[in-house]
Amino acid sequence: MNLDAYFARIGFSGARVPTLETLREVHLAHAQAIPFENLNPLLGWPVPLDLSSVEDKLVRAGRGGYCFEHNALLAAALRQIGFEVTGLAARVIWNAPEDAVRPRGHMLLKVIVADEPYIADVGFGGQTLTAPLRLMENLEQPTPHEPFRLVRAEPYDAGAGPFGPDLKLQSQIGGAWKTLYRFDQQPQYAPDYEVANYYLSTHPSSHFRTGLMAARPVSGRRYALANNQLTVHHLNGPSERQVLKSVGEVKDTLATHFALTLPGTPALDAALAQACAFPA
């Protein structure tokens, strides 16, 4: 990949060495510079996951994307720096029962730093990690945003499989721990992600096809957009909510709060109007 272009996109000018400091700096810079968004599925466009296409979209076109794109790009950059990176897959539990059996529909990364494993994930929308986490159970870990932790998940069956026990990633929100997803350490490969990506980007019932989503963390707060509902979550403070009243307001918000270069297609206005249920 073009590492210079990627670093220019995220504003990283640090040392290109496989250290924990580099991992932390790149992880934070990526999360804050490249937004989470689902305009391609919303428009009925494909979401290709080959590295060239991901670079074209997220780096050169000023767009964002969702987990498969974000973490594929981060993984390629980290490997080029010299990190050992393994792709993993998670079952999303966010806003679902803790024992729900969900598909492996989320991509995350295991990164080895000085023989110690870390979790990296720059693609979970409104609760995207802004720092890597040590792959260690029951350790509350600070990040530039909320505290996170990994805890043992109750097994679905008799016990842990060959890739270790399922772990749950949790964030502390309003004084309570909330689960994002559960995962084990079974390595995943490009075809595994292609299958999940195809379903999520094309199936009529996929939430990526039926509504607008965007998210971006910045210093001291997080921005989240669900259709025409804009929320600004302030760290250690109240959240602000605003209802956007036109396609123009939605596009302005995507360009400003989410630092997104909008695709130049006349179909965008119609797709946003439909997602936000604005009158024709």
Q: Where are the extended beta strands (E) located within 33-83?
A: 36-37
Active-site annotation, residues: 67, 106, 121
- Provide the CA 29 distance to its chain's centre, in angstroms: 13
Number of separate helices (H) and strands (E) present in the chain: 9, 12
Residue 123 neighbours by CB distance under 10 Å: 27
Contact 34, 218 (CB under 8 A): no
CA dihedral 24, 27, 31, 36 (to 10 degrees): -150
Q: Using CA of residue 139, residue 145, residue 146, residue 151, what is the dihedral sign?
A: negative
